[in-house]
Amino acid sequence: MSAMLSRRRLLAAAAVVPAVAVIGGGRSASAAATPGEVPPGAGFHRPGRGVNNVAGVAIPWEARVENRPLLVRQFDVEFDNSVGGEITHVALDGTRTRLGTVQRPATTPVLANDGFWASKYSKALDGTPGHVLAASVYVLRNKVGPGDKYDPHNLRAWTTSLVNIRPDRFHGADHGKWLADTMYTDIEGGTSIFGGGASPQVGSPMTYRDEATGRWEPIHRHFEGDPARTVPRHLRYSVYKPLTRYGSPAYLEFENWAAGDTVAGRAHERNGRILVGYPHGKVRHVADVMQRVRGTGRFGGTEFAEIGQVDTNHPGALTLSTSPRTGFSWDPNVRGGLQIVPANHAKFLSYDLGQNSFIGKNQWIIVGPVGAKAELLQDRRYLIDGKLAIDPGWEAVAPVFGLYVRTHVRFQVSEDYGSTWQESPNLTGVHEPPNSPVDRWTNIRIHLTYPAGP
């Protein structure tokens, strides 16, 4: 298509397009767009592999459509990384809306620890290294380098450098122990960039303004050759609406069972499906559930989310809140939620890093490719015959772990296989089966929307 761009550049779109019809690959840019197609003059880019940054691993064939969408630019958020600096939503027409203020700037990146192993799995939508790595209601974790791919055969070849952005209350909570890698803001957790209409997606490219030239450049260039260099004053992330041949997905649905489970009186011989639903009825089976969720736990950050809101999305986790929004609290018992994780990530953290979580635990759904066997979760090997044990992997694969799920979105649950839907109940703390209401959930549906405003 004549409007296709290089992998190194994304152009601003003139409008946000409704996600409906098939996009015709042979149309000229001057042709009038039918509803749901890219309008004349819109800038877009087709990424090669979604946000996945794992060497030698193919994107699951069933999810190829969602990992090669057209991307229509919606808005930017700019940060003046100085005391009192403004945080600004910038619309495509140039309208600037103040979102908040920087209370304390970030000065130096930090290396990710092993607890955030998922920081290695992803790249930006435009193929550059720097991007919003974890989008959450209580923190934005941004990768600023390096540009290497994650090699499962050479696990510690490099470590991700991070710059973090926090909502209000953290500035006071960290008083006297402020973190150099963190930009402290006065924006309320669970709103705006932290769970509102200005929230980014996993993969939103991160850029900085070169003070010498005035140009916006990929953030990794600033740190090349000196990872400890001072964080730039002017930072920006850009948000894009993904548009597949079927439009923009309207929901993700998890059938909450694995092969051999009995749920709501039904015995299942096959894994539950992970489905992508589109506005005009198209439904695609992209992955399988290898382990169902049956309870809730005290997941950090859920205190900033509403009941039924997405808490966090990053390349190795999608967290859903079942607790009410209380804001910052030292009390872990106000937290409640569940988490969805990809299988190889769960195996590595459990068996190689010694985290006593995920496999066999009731608070986690584990995701694998279509037809995956649940018994592979019990195999402690990360690699089998030179490949990831569960191949193809789902780490940093859209639409579950990147690109589509922003933190403003909500989910519903069903106890009767989708005949009726309801809001999540209020569940704080740890709930285990058989008394946990989650044990009765047959389906979980996350409703996807793509707002362009603050």
Among residues 323, 373, 381, 318, the alpha carbon closest in space to that of 352 is found at 381
- pLDDT single digits (tens) 202-249: 999 999 999 999 999 999 999 998 999 999 999 999 999 999 999 999
- pLDDT single digits (tens) 80-127: 999 999 999 999 999 999 999 999 999 999 999 999 999 999 999 999
Q: What is the mean pLDDT of residues 366-379?
A: 97
pTM: 0.90
Whether pLDDT at 44 is above 80? no
- pLDDT single digits (tens) 279-337: 999 999 999 999 999 999 999 999 999 999 999 999 999 999 999 999 999 999 999 99
What letter represents residue 339's amino acid?
Answer: Q
Residue 18: predicted pLDDT: 32
- pLDDT single digits (tens) 146-157: 999 999 999 999
- Asked if 310 and 319 touch (Cβ cutoff 8 Å), the reply is yes
CA distance 358 to 381: 16
- Asked if 48 and 8 touch (Cβ cutoff 8 Å), the reply is no
Residue 1: predicted pLDDT: 34
Residue 173: predicted pLDDT: 86
Instruction: Give the single-character DSSP code of 54.
Output: B
Q: What is the mean pLDDT of residues 385-389?
A: 94
Whether pLDDT at 35 is above 50? no
Residue 49: predicted pLDDT: 61
Among residues 113, 138, 139, 112, the alpha carbon closest in space to that of 355 is found at 113
Q: What is the mean pLDDT of residues 401-424?
A: 98
* Three-class secondary structure of residue 84 per DSSP: coil
Q: Phi then psi for 122, rounded to 5 degrees?
A: -125, 165
Strand-pairing partners, residue 277, are: 251, 283
Whether pLDDT at 41 is above 80? no
Instruction: Produce one character per residue of 293-304: b if its CB has 16 or more CB atoms within 10 Å, e if not.
Output: bbbbbbbebbbb
Q: What is the mean pLDDT of residues 25-39?
A: 33
From 18-22, 323-327, 431-435, the region with the lowest mean pLDDT? 18-22
Among residues 326, 287, 277, the alpha carbon closest in space to that of 305 is found at 326
* % of residues, the chain, pLDDT over 70: 89
CA distance 180 to 229: 12
Q: What sign for the dihedral angle of Cα 1, 132, 409, 435?
A: positive
* % of residues, the chain, pLDDT over 90: 85
Whether pLDDT at 38 is above 60? no
Within 13 Å, how many C-alpha atoms sit on residue 257's CB side? Answer: 22
- Asked if 326 and 303 touch (Cβ cutoff 8 Å), the reply is yes
Average pLDDT over the chain reads: 90
Number of H helices, E strands in the chain: 3, 25
Residue 175: predicted pLDDT: 86
Q: Phi then psi for 374, rounded to 5 degrees?
A: -60, -30
Q: What is the mean pLDDT of residues 330-357?
A: 95
Q: Where exactly are the structural domains of the chain?
A: 251-447
Whether pLDDT at 186 is above 80? yes
Whether pLDDT at 4 is above 50? no
